[in-house]
A = this chain, B = another copy of it.
Amino acid sequence: MKTLTVELGARSYPIHIGPGLLADDKLLKSLVGADQVLIVTNETVAPLYLKHVESAYAERKQRSLVLPDGEQYKTVDSFVQVIDELIDAGFHRDSCIVALGGGVIGDLAGFAAAAFQRGIDFLQLPTTLLAQVDSSVGGKTAVNHPRAKNMIGAFHQPVAVIADTETLRTLPRRELSAGLAEVIKHGLIVDARFFAWLESNMDALLAFDGPALTHAITRCCEIKAGIVAEDEREQGRRALLNFGHTFGHAIEALGGYGRWLHGEAIAIGMCMAADTSVRLGWLDSRDAARIRELLERAGLPTTAAGLQVADVLDRMRLDKKAGRKGLRVVLLRGLGKAEVAPAPDDAILREAIAGSLAAARPVAR
């Protein structure tokens, strides 16, 4: 088991990474002080791991809520369902929500924990690669608005994160790939060596090689924990983690939150961001080609057929990262060198978007 700490003063918390951790009753118990525990999970994850987790808290006052699986349930209605459950159970301010599942469950249960009685504890038990390397760490919680993703939420740090790498073995291949998009992102924004390591180890990761997965998850969590510790509320550097996300969120929303998995939309978004960087003369086109190639090897889409450039651009302007300074995007000055920048001329953005809407073609040189 590897253990890192997200350093946030009084709100610091550990991330434990390793195989079989969900079966470790003692660890699960030790991380939750509350005597009232609500486990929130979904229909896919429940048959696999709910019993494990319930058994850890059998001596507490414990309830479980099993929601349908899917991004389309990351709504205010599901949020209210979690709150109703807490009230039905008569749970008080010292209770804890345990989020067992992927990013949707973590974000939703985390927001319920942030808002119930103005904030109760929550524990993240991420069971997808995407959640283990990204969404479970850093305290961003939210639900979607029908017209925009993650519009309603809070910064609310968990008491701990436990990433059981064994859970990835039951992950559908498509979900593994979606998680790899965020893994690749971590290399791209700040760590060129890690990006190169991923190029060398992609096959091992796709084969669920344990040590390779543990290394990749640990490195991503280290990178993210370091950035979050510096800038918890995304006033500055944390925005780097949104590389590919302004483009990607637009693609995801236009697809109706169901056509593409989050990681897939982000993969396409990263291609658009890399292409923009090339067109500005910031990034070598050979590096952009390496990015596209690694994403494709990870089983990810790098183009989104059927969308209109204008729709993507309009949607990007609605993104919550758009502030009074206008639309900003994260671009690359090189592999491992991301930078937040004002969006360039529409003409450049349009070309970069168009390049990943059509069928795959080489980046313009």
Q: Interface size of A by Cβ–Cβ distance < 8 Å?
A: 36
Closest Cβ of chain B to A119, distance in Å, is 7
Query: Which residues on B sit within 8 Å (CB–CB) of A35?
Result: 324
Indicate whether A118 sits within 8 Å of B142 (C-beta atoms), given known contacts A83-B152, A93-B323, A154-B154: yes
Whether B151 and A87, one on each chain, are in contact in the complex, defined by CB atoms closer than 8 angstroms, is yes
Indicate whether A115 sits within 8 Å of B118 (C-beta atoms), given known contacts A80-B76, A87-B148: no
Question: Restricting to A13-57, which residues have a CB under 8 Å from any CB of B?
Answer: 34-36
Inter-chain CA distance A324–B34, complex, in Å, is 8
Inter-chain CA distance A34–B324, complex, in Å, is 8
Closest Cβ of chain B to A359, distance in Å, is 33
Whether B154 and A114, one on each chain, are in contact in the complex, defined by CB atoms closer than 8 angstroms, is yes
Q: Residue of B at shortest CB range from A84?
A: B145
Inter-chain CA distance A322–B92, complex, in Å, is 6
Query: Which residues on B sit within 8 Å (CB–CB) of A215?
Result: none
Whether A147 and B87, one on each chain, are in contact in the complex, defined by CB atoms closer than 8 angstroms, is yes
Task: Name which of A93, A152, A320 has the most chain B CB atoms within 10 A of its CB.
Answer: A152
Q: Is A94 an interface residue (CB 8 A)?
A: yes
Indicate whether A116 sits within 8 Å of B318 (C-beta atoms), given known contacts A80-B76, A94-B324, A324-B34: no
Choose among B36, B83, B152, B233 the residue that contacts A151 (Cβ–Cβ < 8 A): B83
Inter-chain CA distance A140–B36, complex, in Å, is 24
Query: Which residues on B sit within 8 Å (CB–CB) of A34?
Result: 324
Q: Report the copy number of this chain in the oligomer.
A: 2
Whether A119 and B151, one on each chain, are in contact in the complex, defined by CB atoms closer than 8 angstroms, is no
Indicate whether A322 sits within 8 Å of B118 (C-beta atoms), given known contacts A83-B145, A145-B83: no
Whether B93 and A322, one on each chain, are in contact in the complex, defined by CB atoms closer than 8 angstroms, is yes
Choose among B114, B155, B321 the residue that contacts A93 (Cβ–Cβ < 8 A): B321
Indicate whether A151 sits within 8 Å of B322 (C-beta atoms), given known contacts A76-B80, A80-B76, A87-B145: no
Q: Residue of B at shortest CB range from A36?
A: B324
Closest Cβ of chain B to A6, distance in Å, is 17
Q: Is A117 an interface residue (CB 8 A)?
A: yes
Inter-chain CA distance A154–B115, complex, in Å, is 6
Query: Which residues on B sit within 8 Å (CB–CB) of A145?
Result: 83-84, 87
Whether B117 and A324, one on each chain, are in contact in the complex, defined by CB atoms closer than 8 angstroms, is no
Inter-chain CA distance A90–B318, complex, in Å, is 6
Query: Which residues on B sit within 8 Å (CB–CB) of A318?
Result: 87, 90
Inter-chain CA distance A233–B76, complex, in Å, is 25
- Residue-wise interface mask of A (68-103) relative to B, using a CB-CB cutoff of 8 A (1 in contact, 0 not): 000000001000100110010010111000000000
Q: Is A226 an interface residue (CB 8 A)?
A: no
The 9 closest A-B pairs by CB, nearest first: A94-B324, A117-B320, A94-B323, A118-B153, A93-B323, A115-B152, A92-B322, A92-B323, A87-B147
28 contacts between A and B (CB under 8 A): A36-B324, A76-B76, A76-B80, A83-B145, A84-B145, A87-B148, A87-B151, A87-B318, A90-B317, A92-B320, A92-B323, A92-B324, A93-B320, A94-B323, A94-B324, A115-B115, A115-B152, A116-B151, A116-B152, A117-B151, A118-B140, A118-B142, A118-B153, A118-B154, A118-B155, A119-B154, A119-B155, A154-B154
Contacts A35-B324, A92-B323, A118-B154 supplied; 9 other A-B pairs, CB < 8 Å: A36-B324, A76-B80, A83-B145, A87-B145, A90-B317, A90-B318, A92-B320, A114-B154, A117-B153
